[in-house]
Structure 1
Amino acid sequence: MKEAKLISSVQNPQIKKILLLKEKSRERKKTGLFVVEGRREIELAQKGGYEMETLIFCSEILVDPTHKSLLPDLKHQVVQTSKQVYEKIAYRETTEGVLAVMKSKEHAIEKIQFKNQSPLILVAEAPEKPGNVGALLRTADAAAVDAVLIANPKSDLYNPNIIRSSIGCVFTTQIGLGTSEEIIAFLKEKEVNIFCAALTASKNYTYSDFTGSTAIVVGTESTGLSPNWLKNSEQNIIIPMQGEIDSMNVSVSAAILIFEARRQRGL
């Protein structure tokens, strides 16, 4: 491992670059880089095939000095910072004292590949809140879905809020990004049955057969799914409500539907 240089000024150009990556989606897209904070998240990113550019740590905060295990080869730059500088670039209020600058991946729909003959796919149309995207990705990881497809995304995938709320599951699941039209065309080409969570022309989700190639599609809590999805739906499905409201948080609804599909598949 290369010897770590010490940075003790928040005015250092490298620190300013990290702050830009953390705060600006435009900078992440322009450079193809993003920031990951925390040992577990960094290890999951590496396991997911993401390439590390720089490891940054603060020895005053880092509880476990074996951060060297995060560096399997010698090509990464290693930077040590003062506590003041690290607290400036850290995203979490309570931090482990280690973060990394990683290289992003492409998430084109056409690059999605299925290992199973009857894949289970989670589709989310225009999720607005990064926290909801993170929760959807945690559900996808827990259920080991074959892919997550995000239609008309409102946040870039490497938003720190998505990484944090997904606790690194953004790196563990195959993800495709595209317009609703592109994703619908992709699913039809792959002969995947589309089941849309919707209030109209729907039947109880437990009565649907999710054992074949299945895409479960969820929309926003405020507007639901766009007409194009409903027009191309094999069957609209609904989770019966027992109270006064007619909808739940999108990540909760997705979890219920995805795990019903898993139950039907005997997994």
Structure 2
Amino acid sequence: MITSLQNPSIKQIVKLSKSRERREQQLFVLEGARELSLALQAGYEITEVYLCREMFAQSKYPDVLESLPAEIITEISPAVFAKIAYRENSDGLVTLAKPKSHRLEDIGVSENPFLIILESVEKPGNLGAVLRTADAAAADAVIVCDPLTDLYNPNVIRSGVGGLFTVPTVVCSSEEALQWLKERGINIFAAELQAAEFYQNIDFRKPSAIVMGTEAEGLTDFWLQNATKRIKIPM
């Protein structure tokens, strides 16, 4: 059992809160038994699991560790868990996993797809919220164009409530996304505050993509000028 806050493995996990470390180590942190279960179902490679048994005893997913080899599971003390945990009311699991490829060619869309596209999203919590909403709306995919945060930021995973593992998610440039949409005949609905028509008046039963811009500035002219229609989403 790890009881020291100075343990090298614990220091490594703390470092993974930074995007540069995640890129260099090709690892990310996810917290919670539910998130681990969803990551396993999505085919993510799990490299290490840190278990606080006292907290895990209350988990709603007690069987999640059964499919994992014992040698990658390390028990830690409550104090150590508190050092590496990101959220309150956790159930005693912190996991390290390898990121996956997120390319446009990996998307398998339905015959009548519905997609969500984000341009230059900056705040991890907002990206996570969109992933959570996309999951609830059964979106075919979320396409993140020119992001200013990365998919594996712990706050994306936390606020997404596992949406990163249940919704196909792609990172690419706006130009690549536009070409991909046009090649497939997908209608582009650009969210704009000044638009005349509200989103609820749009027929989304045809191939559709809703494009949303940054929190502060909204969409750039690139998407506004290439949109099939501009729509308003009231807040």
TM-score, normalised by the number of residues in structure 2: 0.92
Letter of the 2:182 partner, please give it: K
Q: Secondary structure at the match of 1:94?
A: coil
Match of 2:218 among 201, 213, 224: 224
Q: Distance in 1 between matches of 2:201 and 2:92?
A: 49
1:40 aligns with 2:34: yes
How many angstroms does 1:199 deviate by? 3.3
- Asked whether the 8 Å contact 1:195–1:214 carries over to 2, the reply is yes
1:169 aligns with 2:163: yes
**Equivalent residue for 2:193?**
199
Percent of aligned positions with the same letter in both sequences?
A: 45
Q: Distance in 2 between matches of 1:201 and 1:63?
A: 52
**Equivalent residue for 1:91?**
86
Q: Residues 191, 234 of structure 1: CA spacing in aligned structure 2 closer, same or farther, 3 A cutoff?
A: same
- Asked whether the 8 Å contact 1:125–1:153 carries over to 2, the reply is yes
Match of 2:113 among 92, 114, 119: 119
**Equivalent residue for 1:182?**
176
Letter of the 1:89 partner, please give it: I
- Asked whether the 8 Å contact 2:48–2:97 carries over to 1, the reply is yes
How many angstroms does 1:81 deviate by? 1.0
For structure 1, list consecutive stretches of 5 or more residues without a partner in the other structure. Answer: 1-5, 240-246, 249-267
Superposed CA deviations along residues 10-57 of structure 1, whole A, max 9, x for unmatched, are: 221111111111x21111111221111111111111111111111111
The structure with more radius of gyration: 1
Letter of the 1:50 partner, please give it: Y
The runs of 4+ residues in structure 1 deviating greater than 3 Å are: 64-69, 199-202
Superposed CA deviations along residues 163-205 of structure 1, whole A, max 9, x for unmatched, are: 1111111111000111111111111112111011113454233
Match of 1:26 among 20, 25, 39: 20
Q: Distance in 2 between matches of 1:57 and 1:153?
A: 33
Match of 1:51 among 41, 45, 52: 45
Letter of the 1:111 partner, please give it: D
Q: Secondary structure at the match of 1:216?
A: strand
Aligned length: 234
Q: Secondary structure at the match of 1:36?
A: strand
Single out whichever of 61-70 and 206-215 deviates more from structure 2: 61-70
1:215 aligns with 2:214: no
What value does the CA root-mean-square deviation take over the aligned residues? 1.8
Q: Distance in 2 between matches of 1:192 and 1:104?
A: 28
Match of 2:56 among 49, 56, 62: 62
